Amino acid sequence: MRAGSRAGLAAITGSALAGGFYWVFLSPYCQVLGPHPWRGAGDERVVALTFDDGPNEPYTSQLAELLRERGVRATFFQVGRCVERSPASTAALAADGHVIGNHSLSHQMLTYFRRGAFAAEIEDTQKILTRILGKEPALVRMPWLWRQPALLSMLRTRGMRPVSGVFCHAFEVFQVDAARIAHRAVAKTRPGAVLIFHDGYNAGGAARAETVKAVRMTIDALRVYGYRFVTVDELLRVPAYRSSSLPLD
């Protein structure tokens, strides 16, 4: 085999392995390792708007005001460190009827590879959120949607359900133009979709003005198409908060 052919074969093999790795461990859609729902069942035109990486002011409050004006309740997967900085924001979201979920303590990829580190992050964030909400979240979204068997088993023993979803736009986190974000979000929406936006960035603050504008455009456009908005627990028909120390079914 010629050197060029070997290099080409190696490139193809490498690409296939990388694609397989992404599909199993990071894809929004893959269920190979266990339930990680990215949409609800049925053909009803309902959609759940979700927001990751907050709270992050002033953008979280701007989103809250927009959602209040539009009569929409959403689900916010929040980072523990961010909640510690802005506890009033989390409390205000809950008071408005939004659902709060766990999105780790520090939003660091390395926690997935240190024994017990991610479990500790989940537990610490649960304590932070429980102090503010008076109840313990049952929904969790792993940063970057990472999943592995031990991690999913750990969540189950804590009575928590992992939630996936569809990213509204591949580059929304980098704040491309709001109209582009909204156009892509609407195009990706199907009955029962869980749409992922970001009101923060990892465990730190970041500008999110384009996201706020895009969410307004998305809500208005989807309503024209006959969609109504629900929270993730309503969509998936699961509890939003833990009622006991027992694992969920």
Alpha-carbon gap, residue 149 to 70, rounded angstroms: 39
Chain length of the chain: 249
- Percentage of the residues of the chain whose pLDDT score is greater than 90: 79
Q: According to DSSP H, which parts of the chain are helical?
A: 3-25, 59-70, 80-85, 87-95, 117-133, 149-157, 178-188, 209-224, 232-236
Band (17; pLDDT cuts 50, 70, 90): low
Q: Coil, strand or helix: which one is 247? A: coil
Q: How confident is the model over 217-244, as pLDDT tens digits?
A: 999 999 999 999 999 999 999 999 998 5
Residue 20 pLDDT class (50, 70, 90 cuts): confident
When the pLDDT of each residue in the chain is averaged and rounded to a whole number, the result is 92
Q: pLDDT by residue (tens digit) across 67-113?
A: 999 999 999 999 999 999 999 999 999 999 999 999 999 999 889 88
Question: CA dist 75 to 10, 86, 145, 240, Å?
Answer: 43, 17, 16, 10
Output the CA torsion sign for 81, 85, 91, 94.
Answer: negative
Q: Which long-range contacts (CB under 8 A, 24 or more apart) does 127-130 make?
A: 128/80, 128/83, 128/84, 129/78, 129/80, 129/83, 129/90, 129/100, 129/102
On the question of pLDDT at 216 being above 70, the answer is yes
| Domain 36-236: CATH class, spelled out | alpha beta
Average pLDDT over residues 116-122: 94
Mean of pLDDT values over 124-153: 96
Long-range contacts of 17-22 (CB under 8 A, 24+ apart): none
Q: State percent of the chain over pLDDT 70.
A: 90
- Quickly count: other Cβ atoms within 10 Å of residue 130's Cβ: 14
Question: Does residue 15 surpass a pLDDT of 90?
Answer: no
**Distance between CA atoms of 8 and 2, rounded to whole angstroms?**
10
- No. of helices (H) and no. of strands (E), the chain: 9, 8
Whether 103 contacts 52, CB under 8 Å: yes
Which tokens hold the place of 217? 């455009």
Report whether the peptide linkage leading into residue 55 is cis, meaning its omega lies within 30 degrees of zero. yes
In this predicted model, what pLDDT tens digit does every residue of 31-80 receive, in sequence order?
999 899 999 999 999 999 999 999 999 999 999 999 999 999 999 999 99
Which amino acid appears at position 210 of this protein? Answer: E
pTM, 2 dp: 0.92
